[in-house]
A = this chain, B = another copy of it.
Amino acid sequence: MAEHISPLDSITIVLVRPRVAENVGAAARVAFNMGINQLILVSNSRPAREPMAKMATHKAAHLIDNLLTFPTLEEALSEFSIVVGTTARRGRHRFVQQTVREMVDKLVGKISNNKVAILFGPEDAGLTNDDLKFCHMTSAIPTADFSSLNLAQAVAIHCYELHYAIIYAQKDLIPSPEFATTFELESMYNHLEESLTRINFIDSISHNHWMSNVRNLMGRLQLTAKDANIVRGICKKFNQYQQSKNCKL
Contacts and interface: CB of A to CB of B under 8 A. Distances in A.
A232 interface: no
Interface in A156-173: 156-157, 160, 163-164, 167-168
Given A30-B153, A156-B157, A157-B157, A167 B146 contact: no
Contact of A143 (B34, B143, B152): B34
A51 interface: no
A30 B150 contact: yes
Interface residues of A, number: 30
A163 B150 contact: no
A240 B101 CA distance: 58
B156 A142 contact: no
How many copies the complex holds: the figure is: 2
A47 interface: no
A110 interface: no
A26 interface: yes
A143 B157 contact: no
Given A150-B29, A152-B153, A164 B101 contact: yes
A101 B30 CA distance: 18
A44 interface: no
Nearest to A143: B33
Interface in A134-193: 141-144, 146-150, 152-153, 156-157, 160, 163-164, 167-168
Contacts of A147: 32-34, 59
A7 interface: no
Given A2-B144, A57-B148, 16 more contacts: A30-B149, A30-B153, A32-B144, A33-B147, A33-B153, A35-B143, A35-B144, A59-B146, A99-B164, A99-B168, A101-B164, A143-B163, A144-B163, A144-B167, A149-B156, A153-B156
Interface of A: 2, 26, 29-30, 32-35, 57, 59, 99, 101, 141-144, 146-150, 152-153, 156-157, 160, 163-164, 167-168
8 tightest A-B CB contacts, nearest first: A35-B144, A33-B147, A142-B168, A153-B156, A33-B143, A157-B160, A30-B153, A156-B156
9 contacts: A2-B144, A32-B144, A32-B147, A35-B144, A57-B148, A101-B164, A142-B167, A149-B156, A153-B153
